[in-house]
Amino acid sequence: MGYELENMIGLLERTPAALNTLLRGLPEVWTETNEGENTWSVRTVVAHLIHGEYEDWMPRSRHILQYGETQLFSPFDREAHVQFGKDKTLSQLLDEFAKARAKSLDELHGLKLTAKDLERRGQHPALGSVFLSELLATWAAHDLTHLHQISRIMAHQIREAVGPWARYLGVMRCAGHSEAA
Q: How many CA atoms lie within 13 A of 36 on its CB side?
A: 5
- In the complex, the smallest distance separating the C-beta of residue 34 from a second copy, rounded to whole angstroms, is 15
The secondary structure of residue 130, as a DSSP letter, is E
Asked if 152 touches a second copy (CB under 8 A), the answer is: yes
Candidate list 20, 34, 92, 123; residue touching a second copy; CB under 8 A: 20
- Expressed in percent and rounded to 5, the helix, strand and coil fractions of the chain are 65, 5, 30
Q: One symbol per residue from 54 to 73: x for binding a second copy (CB under 8 A), - otherwise; what is it? A: --------------------
CB nearer to a second copy: pick between 110 and 165: 165
CB nearer to a second copy: pick between 75 and 176: 176
Asked if 90 touches a second copy (CB under 8 A), the answer is: no
Ramachandran angles phi, psi of 177, nearest 5°: -100, -5
CA distance 1 to 154: 35
Distances 150 to 126, 135, 143 between C-alpha atoms, Å:
26, 22, 10
122-151 positions binding a second copy, by CB under 8 A: 124, 127-128, 130-131, 133-135, 137-138, 140-142, 144-145, 147-151
Query: 61-91 burial string, b = 16+ CB within 10 Å, else e?
Result: bebbeeeeeeeebeebeeeebeeebeebebe
- In the complex, the smallest distance separating the C-beta of residue 104 from a second copy, rounded to whole angstroms, is 18
Asked whether the beta carbons of 45 and 146 are under 8 A apart, the reply is yes
- In the complex, the smallest distance separating the C-beta of residue 168 from a second copy, rounded to whole angstroms, is 4
Contact residues toward a second copy (CB under 8 A) are 4, 6-8, 10-11, 14-15, 17-23, 25-27, 29-30, 124, 127-128, 130-131, 133-135, 137-138, 140-142, 144-145, 147-152, 154-155, 158, 161-165, 167-174, 176-181
